[in-house]
Amino acid sequence: MVSAPPFRQFVLKVATRCDLACDHCYVYEAADTSWRHKPRFMAEETVQRTAERIAEHAATHRLPAVTLVLHGGEPLLLGPTRMRETLKTLRYVIEDAGCAVALRIHTNGVRLSTEYCDLFREHHVQVGVSLDGDRAATDRHRRFANGASSHTQALRAVSLLRDEYPDIYAGVLCTIDVRNDPVAVYEAVRDAAPPRADFLLPHATHSDPPLRTDPGHTEYADWMLAVFDRWNAENRPFPIRSFTSVLDAFRGLPSGTESLGLSPVDLVVVEADGTLEQTDSLKAAYDGAPATGFTVAEHSFDEASGHPGFEARRHGLADLCETCRRCPIVSVCGGGLRTHRYSAPSQTTSPADPFDHPSVYCGDLKELIMGIRARTEASAVARVPAQRALGLPADVLHQLAHGYGDAKAIEHLNRFQRSLRILLLAKVFAAADGGTGPRQELVGAAIARLKTLDAGHKNALHEILGHPYTSVWALRCLDDAQSGRADPDDFAHLGSLAAATAIRAGVDAEVEVPVRQGAVYLPTLGRLVVGADAGRSVLLRISGGDCDVLGTPGWQGVRRAALPIFSGGGIAVEDTDPFRRCHHWDVAQRLPDSDAAAWLSAIPAAWDTLARDHHSYAPGIAAGLTTIVPLVPSLAGRAVSSTARRAYGAIGAGLPVVGDRAADSPASSLALLMIHEFQHAKLGAVLDMADLHDPHDTRLFEAPWRQDPRPLEGLLQGTYAHVGVTDFWRVRRFTAPDPEERAHAEAEFGLWFGHTLRATHVLAGSGSLTPLGLRFVEALRTTLEGWTSKV
Ligand code: SF4
Ligand code: SF4
């Protein structure tokens, strides 16, 4: 049986009462009232049982390390003696099972003392403190029950950590109130010199919306952007998680917080009575919202992990409402914190799932993310003015250089390729013009027909020109004409282009098309097998988008996997075009129906994996990939795939089958091939636009993933593709469905990370990259190195 993914973060409610009475507290002041029925402290037996359960969970999933956060209420109410026993039990039981423990505690700071700090230092516990900013901001909410301020105590706590115990200082958490001055709050946090900090949106739902002094305005975004601007102007003196998460998410990295992004959540809460709960913030939704019904006494963490509440935060995009799924910034926002999406079912325009809404902070999140993006792009443009030489906007180039490329970026490549093909067609016309060969009459009529169609039906012509193998054909005609070996049959293919365009345009026409290897080809549509005796050409009658050969016996139409999100409405499984034989591997012959059906179910399954888990690549693939050419599978059982530089928009692949070592299922193997090969397509299109290396350098270079050395462009291509491969495995470490597969993903990630990083060093040291090429390689290395901090 496949178990649910493991937890890696455990929040332990060691105390359930607090010495403060903050009026914005989600434990005591929110909808959930369960704290009333909990013991004041976690009993020794519960600590012991919790430690044993975590050790058992770590062993089952072979987890090398787990994170434990001691929380409350106020955990320091435990007192130093009891705290020492708790830490010892947790550490010794879990570490004895071979799993490292990263311990953290989060406190209001009131009771933080040197005695506590010495204890935390001894047990390597990192200490985080709540600090809402300057005195005015702190006093707005963070008060004792008698109304007295807690600001002095909080400042004393951060000073103690900053000045005497910096090695155990984890950072500061600040809850936003838009009535506070953002810059004053930022400066108070900065003066606490935290190693890291975060600014948290106050918990709210659609049923209990956040305070707004100016409804209709995105006050929370404005407030946070004021902080961002100050932080940026000061050269970002410490990481602020809300901002670094957005910046990371732009680069396709996991957000590192459950408040943003689509990364799965691997956190569970153990309450003081041993009950297992979902994340604390759910207390703001409704009474009992975090409860699961599981306890450490009676259930393993594996059993709890299957609870629908945990499940609902593991599937990224699929867990979100329709509005969020369609949102252009969903990969960065992720719909915000799940709690903030809640709307009580009684307000019933609501769907069955009360969390099936955008965040109550939706407008603010949009403004914040777009605001950070605009500010970051502006500084990127300032840094790299020379990159405009490519004709690509700086933000697009930035994405492509880092190995990514969203739909907008790929649209830029598509547009350039379209222009290139129009140019190629004009060149083919010129090369064919004035010929005297046996096909000249057909060619002349086809050129005239295409020019007419170009005048009145540009879109239809562009669709045919957009077919990846049209440029393979055009370049072949031009290469052969230049070398004096022009093949009249190749130029006659213009008749096929004219017929296919006329069909797409819906015009009435009679078009003579050549017979080639016993068949008539209509690019993007299919072929009619007419046999060797059919003569040299066939006259097609075309009317209203139909043609007399379509659907007749012998007609072999191109099959398509329908995927509406793709720019062409799906992916063509191209097994008829005669110019597809340009891949490194043998292409498959026309597929029997059973094999075609296997492709047509494999492609949507692979797309599901891409769309769900690989947000940095899926939109670009949907915008640019139109065609898959089936390849002959390798006899060695290896997954085969290839991209032809001249066939932008297509990739070649053997159909992955169960047992391929590429990935853990045929769908994920095909998803991996699609990422890998489309990386080649992207870089090929960039290379059509700009020189990244010296093409005259014929030396061969070490490629860490191969036995044989490679030319410079091959190494550059391989590096670019393997950035995508490394990222696939990086994500798969979290999303593969069982522990063995996640361990496999971990090993693959390490392998490809090492190979690819090494390749960037070889490229940078080659001495043959152009300045732009050097910037590309530097950007790829930055992307890779960004992943190590998350390992
Ligand atoms: S210190 Fe924390 S737990 Fe205590 S009342 Fe304030 S917000 Fe709630
Ligand atoms: S909450 Fe709003 S901004 Fe965020 S993904 Fe959903 S629709 Fe987009």
* Model confidence pLDDT, tens digit, residues 727-744: 999 888 888 888 888 888
142-171 pLDDT, tens digit per residue, is 999 999 999 999 999 999 999 999 888 989
Q: Is 215 exposed, middle or buried (0-12, 13-18, 19+ CB in 10 A)?
A: exposed
Crossing angle for the helix pair 80-96 and 114-122, to the nearest 10 degrees: 10
- Side chain identity, residue 344: A
- pLDDT surpassing 90 at residue 215: no
Residue with the larger pLDDT of the pair 696 and 687: 687
Give the residue from 761, 771, 767, 769 showing the smallest Cα distance to 784.
Answer: 761
How do strand 641-642 and strand 700-701 relate by DSSP bridges? Answer: unpaired
Give the Å distance between the CA of 480 and the centre of ligand 2: 53
- Side chain identity, residue 692: L
Give the Å distance between the CA of 615 and the centre of ligand 2: 15
Cβ atoms of 573 and 559 closer than 8 Å: yes
pLDDT for the residue numbered 383: 39
The number of residues in the chain equals: 791
How far apart are alpha carbons 479 and 584 in whole angstroms?
19
* Residues forming a β-bridge with 295: 275
pLDDT for the residue numbered 48: 98
Q: Is 415 helix (H, G, I), strand (E, B) or coil?
A: helix
Which ligand 2 atom is at minimum distance from the Cα of 341? 1
pLDDT for the residue numbered 662: 63
- pLDDT surpassing 70 at residue 379: no
Which ligand 1 atom is at minimum distance from the Cα of 28? 8
Q: How far is CA 555 from the centre of its chain?
A: 41
How do strand 700-701 and strand 710-711 relate by DSSP bridges? Answer: antiparallel
Percent of the chain's residues with pLDDT above 90: 56
pLDDT for the residue numbered 658: 64
* Residues forming a β-bridge with 182: none
**Ligand 1 pocket: which of 16, 19, 22 to mutate (most atoms <8 Å of CB)?**
22
**Ligand 2 pocket: which of 246, 337, 356, 362 to mutate (most atoms <8 Å of CB)?**
362
547-593 pLDDT, tens digit per residue, is 988 888 889 999 999 998 898 889 999 999 999 988 778 899 999 99
**Ligand 1 pocket: which of 11, 23, 24, 28 to mutate (most atoms <8 Å of CB)?**
28
Q: Ligand nearest 154 Cα, by number? A: 1
Percent of the chain's residues with pLDDT above 70: 92
Give the Å distance between the CA of 269 and the centre of ligand 1: 17
Give the Å distance between the CA of 275 and the centre of ligand 1: 21
Q: Is 576 helix (H, G, I), strand (E, B) or coil?
A: coil
- pLDDT surpassing 50 at residue 386: no
Q: Ligand nearest 16 Cα, by number? A: 1
How far apart are alpha carbons 130 and 10 in whole angstroms?
19
Which ligand 1 atom is at minimum distance from the Cα of 150? 1
CB neighbours of residue 564 within 10 Å: 7
How far apart are alpha carbons 230 and 245 in whole angstroms?
17
Q: Which residue, by CA, sits nearest to atom 3 of ligand 1?
A: 73
**Ligand 2 pocket: which of 206, 218, 323, 357 to mutate (most atoms <8 Å of CB)?**
323
Longest CA–CA separation in the chain, Å: 102
- pLDDT surpassing 60 at residue 381: no
Q: Ligand nearest 71 Cα, by number? A: 1
Poorest-pLDDT segment among 89-93, 373-377, 563-567: 373-377
CA angle, 243 then 244 then 247, to 5°: 90
Give the Å distance between the CA of 308 and the centre of ligand 1: 29
Q: Which two tokens stand for residue 656?
A: 């992955």
Q: Which two tokens stand for residue 263?
A: 């990364």
pLDDT for the residue numbered 790: 36
In sequence order, the 6+-apart residues with CB closer than 8 A to the CB of 199 are 174, 175, 176, 224, 227, 240, 242
pLDDT for the residue numbered 771: 81
Give the Å distance between the CA of 280 and the centre of ligand 1: 13
Q: Which two tokens stand for residue 448?
A: 């005239």
Q: What share of the chain is helix, strand, coil (3-state, %, to 5)?
A: 50, 15, 40
* Residues forming a β-bridge with 276: 270, 294
Which ligand 1 atom is at minimum distance from the Cα of 141? 6
How far apart are alpha carbons 16 and 19 in whole angstroms?
10
Q: Is 656 helix (H, G, I), strand (E, B) or coil?
A: coil
How far apart are alpha carbons 692 and 686 in whole angstroms?
9
**Ligand 2 pocket: which of 224, 330, 331 to mutate (most atoms <8 Å of CB)?**
330
Give the Å distance between the CA of 68 and the centre of ligand 2: 31
Q: How far apart are the first and last CA of the chain?
A: 28
Give the Å distance between the CA of 70 and the centre of ligand 1: 14
Q: Which two tokens stand for residue 472?
A: 């393979």
325-335 pLDDT, tens digit per residue, is 888 788 788 89
Q: Which residue, by CA, sits nearest to atom 7 of ligand 1?
A: 25
Which ligand 1 atom is at minimum distance from the Cα of 142? 6
- pLDDT surpassing 60 at residue 347: no
- Side chain identity, residue 704: P
How far apart are alpha carbons 227 and 371 in whole angstroms?
12
DSSP label at residue 281: G
- pLDDT surpassing 50 at residue 387: no
Q: Which residue, by CA, sits nearest to atom 8 of ligand 1?
A: 25
Cβ atoms of 41 and 99 closer than 8 Å: no
Which ligand 2 atom is at minimum distance from the Cα of 362? 2
**Ligand 2 pocket: which of 242, 319, 327, 338 to mutate (most atoms <8 Å of CB)?**
327
| Preceding omega of 544 cis (within 30 degrees of 0) | no
Would you place residue 789 in the very low, low, confident or very high pLDDT band (cuts 50, 70, 90)? very low
- Side chain identity, residue 780: L
Give the residue from 451, 446, 532, 425 showing the smallest Cα distance to 494.
Answer: 446
The continuous run of DSSP H or E covering 382 comes out as helix 362-383
Q: Which residue, by CA, sits nearest to atom 4 of ligand 2?
A: 335
CA angle, 616 then 621 then 626, to 5°: 180
Please write down the HEC assignment for all residues of 101-121. EEEEEEECCCCCCHHHHHHHH
- pLDDT surpassing 50 at residue 74: yes
Residues in contact with ligand 2 by the CB-under-6-Å rule are 323-324, 327, 329-330, 333, 335-336, 358-359, 362, 365-366
Q: Ligand nearest 131 Cα, by number? A: 1
Which ligand 1 atom is at minimum distance from the Cα of 110? 1
Would you place residue 655 in the very low, low, confident or very high pLDDT band (cuts 50, 70, 90)? confident
Please write down the HEC assignment for all residues of 132-181. CCCHHHHHHHCECCCCCECHHHHHHHHHHHHHHCHHHEEEEEEECCCCCC
Q: Is 560 helix (H, G, I), strand (E, B) or coil?
A: strand
Q: Ligand nearest 30 Cα, by number? A: 1
Residues in contact with ligand 1 by the CB-under-6-Å rule are 18, 20-22, 25, 27-28, 72-74, 108
- pLDDT surpassing 60 at residue 295: yes
- pLDDT surpassing 80 at residue 63: no
503-532 pLDDT, tens digit per residue, is 999 999 999 999 998 999 999 999 999 887
Would you place residue 384 in the very low, low, confident or very high pLDDT band (cuts 50, 70, 90)? very low
**Ligand 1 pocket: which of 11, 16, 24, 27 to mutate (most atoms <8 Å of CB)?**
27
pLDDT for the residue numbered 350: 52
Q: Ligand nearest 365 Cα, by number? A: 2
Which ligand 1 atom is at minimum distance from the Cα of 24? 7
Give the residue from 73, 79, 69, 83 showing the smallest Cα distance to 17.
Answer: 73
pLDDT for the residue numbered 788: 61
Q: How far is CA 766 from the centre of its chain?
A: 31
Q: Ligand nearest 174 Cα, by number? A: 1
Give the residue from 16, 22, 28, 17 showing the smallest Cα distance to 150.
Answer: 22
pTM greater than the 0.85 cutoff: no
Q: Ligand nearest 369 Cα, by number? A: 2
Give the Å distance between the CA of 17 and the centre of ligand 1: 9
pLDDT for the residue numbered 296: 96
How far apart are alpha carbons 82 and 375 in whole angstroms?
49
